[in-house]
């Protein structure tokens, strides 16, 4: 059986042996791209099902920890989900180090194979998917031959040839990209996340900061200054290369006025202004006119599960922010709206809810679901009314009933501040469940909104 493949072709390792470790979407895209380019590709995954699928597509399955398995291997392509350093290196990583085999990721492979293209990289603890999609929308709307992917949507090595690659970069992917790859790098914010994978906060900051290594003397770093850590990074770079940095935040113009005036319906709140300001700075550096950029901002449809307006039923808007799996992300949603009927809860990440404290006055009532209901209720401590709804369906119906009794209701907002794994396999299914329930509600007046899928 041959698996359908839309990958590009990578000839860098033609006639040589390479090994791909981790056979998810990005790993299989790399394996196909390398084999199509003439390399002998070995594959490994700790999961038997993934190995079986790769073997059925005529890839050789080789455990890199076996004696002699890496003899003559030129390079290891490591999937970003596999630990490179922390909490401990994967055995395949140790085997590669012992054999003197270089370890890189798929983004590095794309960069080496397509050096003539321009590269825009976007990272940050929160907001990077939306900003990546927004930049891609602005560029393609203006007729630029751009490809959008990486950590969002399409794996890098399944992207079509492009003049500009717009790539969302996770901290894991940045660890596996040794080259200074980006003509324009965007660092939105840094707050604690994935600390186990980076050995603590300093390691996480170092991984994120890797995106700012300039590819050329003309490279631009676009840095959000609304978070303390990135503001300090911006100050450091400003002192060394003021011409190579653009600082953006919640007051950046002209996007702040555009959003305040309602001209960008899919962009809201202070974080939305920062995302839009980053996109504006990137597009300007790439030579777009203000008119083209503003057109892209105004027509951006948003992303699924990220403050996604689902529908307005009898004057009440339902918003799906299922991607908000921590308090920092949920705070961005609460900051963007008023008189909120808030659905929160899931599996507690044990990070606390303090980032939400200043936004509770915006909430009319909270409807708590999942394992974290007790912890969230304890944190709220009577500051706003709460209802223990238990599950998502009950929360939606209760929130709608409460909003109907409000003379001037704000949105019913799913922004859980928690992981989904107590009741759903992932945040996407949680968000789709929310949308399906909302769209099935009876209503006298109904406006259905839309957003792009992130993947």
Active-site annotation holder among 32, 126, 137, 151: 151
CB neighbour class for 77 (10 Å; exposed up to 12, middle 13-18, buried from 19):
buried
Active-site annotation holder among 128, 208, 305, 323: 128
Active-site annotation holder among 194, 397, 449, 452: 194
CB neighbour class for 290 (10 Å; exposed up to 12, middle 13-18, buried from 19):
exposed
Task: Give 205's strand partners.
Answer: none
The structure tokens listed for 319 are 């918003």
Helix, strand or coil for residue 376?
A: helix
The answer to whether 18 and 77 are in contact (CB under 8 A) is yes
Say how far apart CA 212 and CA 122 lie, in whole Å.
10
CB-hemisphere CA count at 13 Å for 18?
30
CA angle 415, 138, 141 (to 5 degrees): 125
Task: Give 287's strand partners.
Answer: none
The structure tokens listed for 410 are 């704000």
Closest CA to 165 of 115, 219, 223: 115
Helix, strand or coil for residue 160?
A: coil
Catalytic residue flag (residue 63) = no
Catalytic residue flag (residue 194) = yes
Phi and psi torsions of 293, nearest 5°: -65, -45
Catalytic residue flag (residue 86) = no
Tokens 């969230």 correspond to what residue?
376
For the annotated catalytic residues, the residue numbers are 128, 151, 194
């Amino acid at each position: 059986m041959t698996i359908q493949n839309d990958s590009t072709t990578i000839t860098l390792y033609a006639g040589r042996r390479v090994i791909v470790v981790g056979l998810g979407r990005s790993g299989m895209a790399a394996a196909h791209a390398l084999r199509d380019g003439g390399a002998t590709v070995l594959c490994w995954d700790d999961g038997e099902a993934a190995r079986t699928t790769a073997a059925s597509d005529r890839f050789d399955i080789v455990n890199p920890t076996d004696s002699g398995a890496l003899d003559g291997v030129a390079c290891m392509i490591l999937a970003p989900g596999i630990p490179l350093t922390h909490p401990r290196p994967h055995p395949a990583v140790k085997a590669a180090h012992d054999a003197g085999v270089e370890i890189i990721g798929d983004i590095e492979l794309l960069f080496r194979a397509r050096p003539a293209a321009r590269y825009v990289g976007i990272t940050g603890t929160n907001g990077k998917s939306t900003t990546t999609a927004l930049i891609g929308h602005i560029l393609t709307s203006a007729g630029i031959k751009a490809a959008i992917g990486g950590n969002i949507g399409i794996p890098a090595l399944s992207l079509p040839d492009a003049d500009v690659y717009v790539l969302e970069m996770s901290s894991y992917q940045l660890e596996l990209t040794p080259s200074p790859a980006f003509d324009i790098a965007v660092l939105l914010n840094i707050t604690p996340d994935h600390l186990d994978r980076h050995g603590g906060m300093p390691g996480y900051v170092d991984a994120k900061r890797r995106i700012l290594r300039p590819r050329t003397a003309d490279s631009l770093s676009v840095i959000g200054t609304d978070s303390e850590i990135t503001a300090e990074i911006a100050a450091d770079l400003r002192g060394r290369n003021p011409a190579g940095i653009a600082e953006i935040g919640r007051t950046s113009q002209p996007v702040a006025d555009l959003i305040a005036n309602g001209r960008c319906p899919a962009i809201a709140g202070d974080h939305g202004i920062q995302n839009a300001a980053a996109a504006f700075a990137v597009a300007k550096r790439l030579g777009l006119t203000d008119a083209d950029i503003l057109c892209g901002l105004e027509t951006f449809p948003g992303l699924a599960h990220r403050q996604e307006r689902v529908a307005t039923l009898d004057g009440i808007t339902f918003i799906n922010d299922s991607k908000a799996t921590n308090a920092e992300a949920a705070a961005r949603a609460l900051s963007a709206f008023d008189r909120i009927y808030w659905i929160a809860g899931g599996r507690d990440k044990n990070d606390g809810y303090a980032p939400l404290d200043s936004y509770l006055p915006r909430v009319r009532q909270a409807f708590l679901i999942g394992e974290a209901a007790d912890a969230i209720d304890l944190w709220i401590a009577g500051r706003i009314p709460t209802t223990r709804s238990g599950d998502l369906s009950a929360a939606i119906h209760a929130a709608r009933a409460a909003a109907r009794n409000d003379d001037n209701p704000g949105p019913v907002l799913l922004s859980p501040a928690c992981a989904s794994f107590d009741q759903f396999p992932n945040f996407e299914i949680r968000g789709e469940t929310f949308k399906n329930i909302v769209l099935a509600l009876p209503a006298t007046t109904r406006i259905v909104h839309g957003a792009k899928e992130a993947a």
